[in-house]
Chains A and B, each alone.
Chain A
Amino acid sequence: MQVDGHGGDINTSTFLPISDSRQTIQNESNNSGVFSLSLLSEGINRRAQWNADSVQGRHTIRYSYSVLGKHVRYEIPGDLSIPASYPRELDKYLKEESGIQVNDPLIEKKINYLFPEGKPNIFDGVYTIHKHLQNEFNNKNFSGFTDALTALKLGEASCNGKGRLFVALARKLNLPARLVGGFVMEPGTKRTSHQWVEIYINGYWVPFDTINNHFAELPAHYLTLYYGDMVLFKHTSNVNFQYFFKTLKRLVPQQDAQSKLEATPFNLTNLYSLFERIGISQNLLKIILMIPFGALVTVIFRNVIGLETFGTFLPALIAAASRETGLLWGLIGFVIIILTASWIRKFLDWIHLLHSPKMAIMLTMVVSLMLLMTVAGVNAGLFELAHVTLFPIAILAITAERFSILEAEQGWAKVSKITLSTLFVICACYVVMDSLFLQSLVLAFPEVLLILVGLNLWLGKWVGMRLSELFRFRKLIFNPEVKA
Chain B
Amino acid sequence: MKKIRKLISTFQKMRQAQNHVLSMNRRNLEYVYPNNSRCNFPIADNKLETKAYLRSLSIPMPVTHRVYDSFFSLRKVESDLQNLNDFVIKPAQGSGGGGILVIVENKGSELITAGGRIVTLQNLRTHMSDVIFGIYSNGLSDQVIVESRLVQHKDMDILSPSGLTDLRVIVHQNTPVMAMLRIPTSLSDGKANLHQGAMGAGIDMENGNISHAIHNNVEITAHIDSGHHLIGRQVPYWAESIAIAETVAYAVPLKYLGIDIALTESGPVLLELNVRPGIAIQNANDLGLYAALRSKAGAA
Contacts and interface: CB of A to CB of B under 8 A. Distances in A.
* A complexed with B: yes
Interface stretch (B9-17, B227-235, B266-274): B9-17
B196 A463 contact: no
B282 A478 contact: no
A484 to B, nearest CB: 5
A465 B16 contact: no
Interface stretch (B57-65, B109-117, B254-262, B286-294): B286-294
Contact of A409 (B30, B133, B196): B196
Given A352-B126, A409-B98, A478-B14, A461 B135 contact: no
Contacts of B295: 484
Interface in B102-133: 126, 129-130, 133
Given A464-B23, A473-B283, A355 B17 contact: no
Chain B CB within 10 A, most for which of A409, A461, A466, A476: A476
Interface in A333-367: 352, 354-356
A199 B130 CA distance: 79
Contacts of A465: 18, 21, 23, 25
Interface residues of B, number: 36
Contact of B25 (A410, A414, A464): A464
B25 A476 contact: no
Interface in B193-212: 195-196
A478 B13 contact: yes
Given A354-B129, A355-B135, A410-B196, A482 B17 contact: yes
Contacts of A9: none
B85 interface: no
The binding surface of chain B is classed by DSSP as helix
Given A473-B283, A484-B291, A479 B17 contact: yes
* Contact-size category for A: 20 to 34
A112 B199 CA distance: 91
A373 B77 CA distance: 46
B29 interface: yes
Contacts of B129: 354
Interface in A380-417: 409-410, 414
B15 to A, nearest CB: 10
B16 A463 contact: no
Contacts of A306: 24
A472 interface: yes
A352 B133 CA distance: 12
Contacts of B13: 478, 482
A475 interface: yes
B153 interface: no
Contact of A355 (B96, B133, B219, B288): B133
A483 B295 CA distance: 12
A303 interface: yes
Interface in A273-332: 303, 306
25 contacts: A352-B126, A355-B135, A409-B96, A409-B98, A409-B196, A460-B29, A463-B25, A463-B26, A463-B29, A464-B23, A464-B26, A465-B23, A466-B24, A472-B217, A472-B283, A475-B286, A476-B17, A476-B20, A476-B283, A476-B286, A476-B288, A478-B10, A478-B14, A482-B20, A483-B288
Given A303-B25, A409-B98, A478-B14, 17 more contacts: A354-B129, A354-B130, A355-B130, A355-B134, A409-B196, A463-B30, A464-B18, A465-B23, A466-B24, A466-B25, A473-B282, A475-B219, A476-B287, A478-B17, A479-B17, A484-B291, A484-B292
